[in-house]
Amino acid sequence: MKRSNSMTRRMVIALTSVVALSWLVASGLGIMVMQDEFAEIFDSGVQETAERLLPLIADDLKERSPEAERRLVQPVNGHEYLTYQVRDREGEVLLHSHDGASEPFDVPLTPGFADTATQRIYTVGTPDGGLYLQLADAFANRREAIVEAGTALILPLLLLIPASMIAVVLVVRRTLAPIQTLRDEIGSKDSGNMAPVDAIHLPGELHPIARSVNLLLGRLRAALESERAFASNSAHELRTPIAGALAQAQRLQADIPPEFAPRVHQIERSLSHLAQLSEKLLQMSRAEAGIGAFETEVDLLPIVELVLEDIGRSEIGGGRIRLHLATDGKLSGMINPDAFGIVVRNLLENALVHSPEDSFVDIHVDDNNALRVINHGAVVEPALLPKLTTRFTRGATQASGSGLGLAIVKHLVERMNGSLVLASPAADRSDGFEARVLLPKL
């Protein structure tokens, strides 16, 4: 799966790369400058050493005593940094350092600096031109100094990169924290939460975004409230005339000739369906209004029993509902009692309507704060189950209905911070349908 682009990750990579590249460029420039400066320092040191050493060697050579010879050619312990040769005017090597070559340096006896493939040599002579001292400094020594200095500059980069990444992550996260807050707050907005975004604590750069979001939320809130008010008012206002028309149709059945009875019966069925639809629309309007959560904990089991008693008196539900309570079965939560009553009623009505007339509907109250409603019937295809919670969607059934019951249940259960699980066939059965409501545990 493709990873989403993260502003934090991109900024960390960019800033760390800039810091590392800047450090490398600065180190490269520093090494170039040091190389020139080191060359001047080494040249100055070689020249000064040669000019100070030549008079001493000249005086010792004049003595020509055994003690002077031993002093001049005495071996040194370890590696010599500088090597020298003392030559006469014909170029013959009179003396040389312990590590110095016995063959003459391949440079002319001309005062000043000269280079070979491996050494930089400074030549200085006595005023009479009788003796010349050639002091050699190996290029390897200079390269070693440059390498060590460059390493000292670049080596901290190994610590700088992870340290800068950590610092950048901390700074970027702290800087982007208001954006994260704004994102989370906008992400929490839905049809049940249209409260304006709080822009008081946001930086000035985010105020226009918060203002635009609040304007959009205001328009959506007005549109949804208008839609809900229309649906609620329409459903409420239709109740009385539909009930009156239904009563008149039922009275008309007793007064008309038998040949007109089927038509009047069809009118009665249509009016009953219209009454049910208006009731469902009113419930959907209430569900979308945000009911579901409650301020205090409520025992929900009496609500289940009350709904069972009410539906048990109806023609379709009489003697068909069985309640099963687990040993520690209980239902409770910070849930609106009316909203939970609508959930239980819709689940039971859905189960009664879509099961055979002579079958039972079982309602289970489990010990994990869950409610299950199980009915007999044909198996529903698994691909169709998620679609049943969509408005006005019905399965392959001849039973009457509006296709709103499970949509209302799902909407309300989500407002209760619970979940609705549909299964077909039902658990431990080869047929049927099961609706399971899982409520949050306190």
Tens of pLDDT, residue by residue over 329-374, are: 788 888 888 888 889 999 998 888 888 888 899 999 988 889 999 9
pLDDT attached to residue 236:
64
> pLDDT tens-digit profile of 401-439?
667 778 888 888 888 888 899 998 888 888 889 999 999
The DSSP result for 158-178, as a single string, is HHHHHHHHHHHHHHHHHHHHH
Across the chain, mean pLDDT equals 80
121/113 Cα distance (integer angstroms):
6
101 — phi, psi (to 5°)? -75, 145
- Chain-centroid distance, C-alpha 236: 46
The pLDDT value recorded for residue 364 is: 92
The mean pLDDT of 119-131, rounded to a whole number, is 86
Percent of all residues in the chain with a pLDDT value above 90, rounded to a whole number? 6
A 10 A CB-CB count for 36 gives 9
Decide: pTM greater than 0.75: no
Question: Which tens digits make up the pLDDT trace of 145-161?
Answer: 888 888 888 888 778 77
Confidence check: pLDDT of 265 > 80: no
Residues 6+ apart with CB under 8 A from 370: 436, 437, 438, 439
Residue 239 has pLDDT above 80, yes or no: no
Residue 180: its pLDDT value, please? 81
Query: What is the model's pLDDT at position 129?
Result: 81
pLDDT of residue 375: 92
Measured in degrees and rounded to the nearest 5, phi and psi for residue 87 equal: -125, 150
Taking the C-alpha atoms of residue 131 and residue 84, their distance in angstroms, rounded to an integer, is 13
Q: Which amino acid is it at 441?
A: K
As a whole number, mean pLDDT of residues 281-292 equals 70
pLDDT at 362: 92
Name the pLDDT band for 315 (thresholds 50, 70, 90). confident
pLDDT beyond 80 at 100: no
Query: What residues pair up with 324 in beta bridges, in sequence order?
Result: 364
Is the predicted pLDDT of residue 189 greater than 80, yes or no? Answer: no
Task: Measure Cα distances from 16 to 3, 12, 30, 166, 179 in Å.
Answer: 21, 6, 21, 10, 22
- pLDDT of 130 strictly over 90: no
Nearest to 308 by CA among 279, 345, 335: 345
Confidence at residue 306, expressed as pLDDT on a 0 to 100 scale: 92
Give the pLDDT mean for 2-6: 59
Q: What is the DSSP code string of 249-275?
A: HHHHHHHS-GGGHHHHHHHHHHHHHHH
Least confident of 64-78, 93-107, 291-305, 389-403: 64-78
Of 46-55, 227-236, 374-383, minimum mean pLDDT range: 227-236
* pLDDT range class, residue 395, cuts 50, 70, 90: low
DSSP secondary structure letter of residue 23: H
Question: Which residue, among 87, 81, 191, 92, has the nearest Cα to 137 in the 3D structure?
Answer: 81
What residue type is 51 in one-letter code? E
pLDDT at position 250 over 80: no
**What are the structural domains, with CATH classification, of the chain?**
7-154 (3.30.450), 188-290 (1.10.287), 291-438 (3.30.565.10)
* Cα dihedral: 174, 175, 178, 181 (round 10): -40
Residue 127 scores a pLDDT above 80: yes
Least confident of 42-46, 176-180, 389-393, 430-434: 389-393
Please give the residue that has the higher pLDDT: either 195 or 139.
Answer: 139
| β-pair partners for 87 | 93, 132
